[in-house]
Structure 1
Amino acid sequence: MKVSVSTDNGMVSEHFGRCPEFTIVEVEDSKVVAKEVIPNPGHHPGFLPEFLKKKGVGVIIAGGMGQRAQALFSEQGIESIMGISGKVDEAVASFIAGTLKGGVSICQPGAGKGYGVEKTACDHEGEDKC
């Protein structure tokens, strides 16, 4: 199985669509057998789910992702685990151990993005704007 983690400098990125890179980890028999860090190839609706599916990814781990993006991953048969933070390697180890607990997406849609939500800041600490 391959797991993709939205990555920013070795940490799980809070912004799935804006992460600078993805870490793709191949897991066999509960062990990491391969790890590849690739630049984010850019995105538009449906591109990244197809791109990662072609790479064999079955799970995506991120801090935050919109509902539409999660639905597009689901349509490709890729499980989305949101609300994750910390080091990529620790998140992957928790996933392998079966202890990774997803939750609410860290970053929710904001004002001006067509969601009808009037906000001017992200929902996660330390960020003024998404």
Structure 2
Amino acid sequence: MRVAIATDGGFVAQHFGRCPGFTIFEIEDGKIINKSFVENPGYKAHQPGQVPMFLRNQNVNCVIAGGMGPNAVMNLQASGIQVLVGITGKVEEVIDKLISGTLTGGESLCEHGEHECKH
């Protein structure tokens, strides 16, 4: 399983589409076998649909973020990618909770108005 966590300074980013990058963990048999960081191609010039496509091309199975807009959720889920939002904390602690089965998602921390994202 490949898990991408929206990352900002070692913590789960508040906004999926505008985070600096993603920490991608590859997990096998309940253990992390690889960890890498990839820059978000939409960080400086966010375009709807760009980041979900990028993560799909990274063979990601699950995306974790603090907040995410409904279109991004829909695009990811349409590709068979699980989405967990409402997550906060250090990236390393979050992946440990996911592996142990204790990570629980919630409401998106990102409120999308007509043309802007409010945190």
2:32 maps to 32
Matches within 5 A, 1:1-130: 1-42=1-42, 43-113=46-116, 122=118, 124=119
The alpha carbon displacement at 1:111 in A equals 4.9
Once residues 66 and 50 of structure 1 are traced to their aligned partners in structure 2, the CA distance between those partners, rounded to angstroms, is 15
The alpha carbon displacement at 1:48 in A equals 1.7
Could you tell which deviates more after superposition, 70-79 or 39-48? 39-48
Partner amino acid, structure 2, of 1:34: N
Give the alignment's TM-score, normalised by structure 1.
0.84
Structure (1/2) with the larger strand percentage: 2
Give the alignment's TM-score, normalised by structure 2.
0.91
Q: Which has the higher contact order (CA 8 A, sep 6+)?
A: 2
Please, which runs of 5 or more residues in structure 1 have no aligned partner? 114-120, 125-130
Larger Rg: 1
Calculate the aligned-residue CA RMSD, in Å. Answer: 1.4
Please, which runs of 5 or more residues in structure 2 have no aligned partner? none
The alpha carbon displacement at 1:51 in A equals 1.4
* Offset from partner CA, 1:76-130 (integer Å, 9 cap, x none): 11011000000001111111111100000011113534xxxxxxx83x4xxxxxx
The alpha carbon displacement at 1:56 in A equals 1.2
The alpha carbon displacement at 1:52 in A equals 1.0
Partner amino acid, structure 2, of 1:74: Q
Once residues 67 and 49 of structure 1 are traced to their aligned partners in structure 2, the CA distance between those partners, rounded to angstroms, is 12
